[in-house]
């Protein structure tokens, strides 16, 4: 099929009528398909069920150093769990705090502490300043943006390129404006683009001049080990890069096993320089007597180490790959070469990011919803829910079955074609 931009009005009208008829047939089927959030499917969750037996009545509840995980204490996590996350995040164990079950909570709390008390090196708590701004490479993760909105942090959109945020823009903004205190980054298999930052981007982030002495990179490495192909991306370790650039305190790293073991019942961790962590531990010791160490021990015992995590993630990939393949091959068949949509082909993560013609995303998401396909709200991948080009749609293929997914993507493609044809006719 030709590029639709080259078609004349009659041809486009013909295509539009044809697709509208197909759409009506789907609508009459009254389907209910949900692709709105990146949730693991039940088969993925089954992979970790053995973990629930790893700290049972027949096992010792004690860590290697004799700590009883059933009791209070161990503010920043058990040593074995620090070791595991240190390997995953490519940092040292003393640069890790292992927390509860949610890395998002740790990110929220890191911002809350910064607002109330500042971070290491702050002249004043961020909340006392007349303005606090964050750079938000977009499209990005809606819940990062929601945290900024909650705390009244002004968000500045930075364009995502094929290898990470537009670093010329980042360097300029961060170098000039003292009220820019941070940047959100999902550096590996980014949500939603599936992009992994290049070494050059990591190095530039680590060494750029920041006007704010207490500038922080919020490095949300949620998809560190979540490949879906046999040629995974490689991410340069940022804490090392920051140290090498003479900015050891610049970065806060976050991760969790939410999409390795159980979503909502995994283990989360943050990492930063020892100096940063010493400051954070002081506040943490007021907030809690310690995290759920039983869950940490369960995870360590079940996975054994990084090799165990890698083998486990291969099993996830075996479930996820056919889903990614289904989406990508349908997008290619239905939308390829038509010039009305573009998308990425990630090597991992949880999402495929689809761009329609400008001004079509809201209409597509609304039409899909009418036909029973729930997608992430259009605009959600941008700060304040405002996609300036109204074109980005996040596809989350993990939860539906393969056959549900196929139907959902067919419907989505018909909606993209209808909105695209209408746009070209307008």
Q: Measured between alpha carbons, how far is 221 from 235 in angstroms, rounded to an integer?
A: 10
Q: Does 138 bind ligand PLP (CB under 6 A)?
A: no
Residue 141 binding ligand PLP, by CB under 6 A: yes
**Residue (222 or 419) nearer to ligand PLP, CB:** 222
Residue 33 φ/ψ, nearest 5 degrees: -125, 130
**100 near ligand PLP, judged by CB under 6 A:** no
- Sequence-distant (6+) residues with CB within 8 A of 332 are none
Complex with ligand PLP: residue 12 or 158, whichever CB lies closer: 158
295 in contact with ligand PLP (CB under 6 A): no
- Closest distance to ligand PLP from the beta carbon of 258 (Å): 3
Identity of the residue, 217 or 367, whose beta carbon is nearer to ligand PLP in the bound complex: 217
Residue of 268, 309, 354, 412 interacting with ligand PLP (CB under 6 A): 268
- Smallest distance, Å, CB 36 to ligand PLP? 11
CA dihedral 158→162→168→174, nearest 10 degrees, is: 40
Does 136 engage in binding with ligand PLP (CB under 6 A)? no
Question: Between residues 258 and 355, which has the closer beta carbon with respect to ligand PLP?
Answer: 258
Enumerate residues 172-191 that contact ligand PLP by CB under 6 A: 186, 191
Asked whether position 102 contacts ligand PLP by CB under 6 A, the answer is: yes
Other beta carbons within 10 Å of 24: 11
The number of residues that bind ligand PLP (CB under 6 A) is 13
**How far is Cα 104 from Cα 149, in angstroms, rounded to an integer?**
15
Interacting span for ligand PLP (CB under 6 A) from 1-9, 101-109, 317-325, 365-373 = 101-109
Among 67, 103, 276, 356, binds ligand PLP (CB under 6 A): 103
By C-alpha distance, which of 369, 268, 314, 318 is closest to 32? Answer: 369
Q: Which of residues 214-243 bind ligand PLP (CB under 6 A)?
A: 220, 222
Contacts 24+ apart (CB under 8 A), 37-41: 37/376, 37/396, 37/399, 38/191, 38/259, 38/350, 38/351, 38/396, 38/398, 38/399, 39/263, 39/396, 39/398, 39/399, 40/259, 40/263, 40/316, 40/398, 40/399, 41/319, 41/398, 41/399, 41/400, 41/401
Q: Does 381 bind ligand PLP (CB under 6 A)?
A: no
Q: Which of 48, 69, 258, 295 binds ligand PLP (CB under 6 A)?
A: 258
Which residue, 343 or 350, is less far from ligand PLP as judged by CB?
Answer: 350
Residues contacting residue 96 through CB under 8 Å, at least 6 positions apart: 76, 77, 82, 85, 86, 89, 269, 270, 271, 277
Q: What is the DSSP letter of 376?
A: P
Residues written for the chain:
426
Q: Considering the complex, what minimum distance in angstroms separates the CB of residue 426 from ligand PLP?
A: 35
**C-beta closer to ligand PLP: residue 400 or 420:** 400
Measuring CA to CA, which residue among 224, 284, 275 is closest to residue 85? 224
Question: Which region among 96-104, 119-127, 194-202, 416-424 touches ligand PLP (by CB under 6 A)?
Answer: 96-104
Residues near ligand PLP, by CB under 6 A = 38, 102-104, 141, 186, 191, 220, 222, 256, 258, 263, 268
């Amino acid at each position: 099929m030709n590029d639709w931009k080259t078609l004349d009005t009659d041809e486009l009208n013909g295509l539009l009528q044809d697709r509208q008829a197909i759409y009506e047939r789907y609508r009459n089927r009254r389907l209910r398909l949900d692709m709105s959030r990146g949730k693991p499917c039940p088969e993925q969750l089954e992979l970790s069920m053995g973990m629930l037996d790893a700290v049972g009545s027949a096992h010792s509840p004690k860590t290697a150093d004799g700590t009883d995980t059933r009791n209070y204490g161990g503010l920043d996590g058990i040593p074995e769990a620090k070791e595991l996350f240190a390997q995953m995040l490519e940092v040292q164990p003393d640069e890790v705090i292992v927390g509860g079950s949610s890395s998002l909570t740790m990110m929220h709390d890191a911002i809350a502490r910064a607002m109330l008390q500042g971070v290491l090196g702050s002249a004043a708590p961020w909340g006392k300043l007349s303005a606090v701004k964050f750079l938000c490479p977009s499209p990005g993760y809606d819940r990062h943006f929601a945290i900024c909105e909650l705390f009244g942090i002004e968000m500045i959109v930075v364009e995502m390129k094929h290898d990470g945020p537009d670093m010329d823009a980042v360097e300029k903004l961060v170098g000039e404006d003292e009220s820019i205190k941070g940047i959100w980054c999902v550096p590996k298999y980014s949500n939603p683009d599936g992009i992994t930052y290049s070494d050059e981007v990591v190095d530039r982030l680590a060494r750029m001049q920041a006007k704010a002495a207490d500038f922080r990179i919020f490095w949300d490495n949620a998809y560190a080990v979540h490949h879906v192909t046999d040629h995974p991306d490689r991410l340069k370790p940022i804490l090392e890069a920051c140290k090498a650039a003479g900015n050891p305190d610049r970065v806060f790293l976050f991760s969790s096993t939410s999409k390795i073991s159980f979503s909502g019942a995994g283990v989360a961790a943050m990492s930063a320089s020892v100096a940063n962590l010493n400051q954070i531990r002081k506040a943490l010791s007021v907030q809690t007597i310690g995290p759920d160490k039983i869950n940490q021990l369960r995870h360590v015992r079940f996975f054994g180490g990084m090799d165990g995590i890698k083998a486990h993630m291969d099993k996830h990939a075996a479930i996820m790959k056919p889903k990614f393949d289904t989406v990508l091959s349908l997008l290619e068949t239905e939308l390829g070469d038509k010039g009305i949509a573009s998308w990425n082909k990630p090597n991992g993560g949880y999402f495929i990011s689809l761009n329609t013609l400008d001004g079509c995303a809201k209409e597509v998401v609304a039409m899909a919803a009418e036909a029973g396909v729930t997608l992430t709200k259009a605009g959600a991948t941008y700060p304040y829910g405002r996609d300036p080009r109204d074109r980005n749609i996040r596809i989350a293929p993990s939860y539906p079955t393969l056959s549900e997914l196929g139907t959902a993507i067919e419907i989505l493609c018909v909606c993209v074609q209808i909105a695209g044809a209408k746009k070209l006719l307008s």
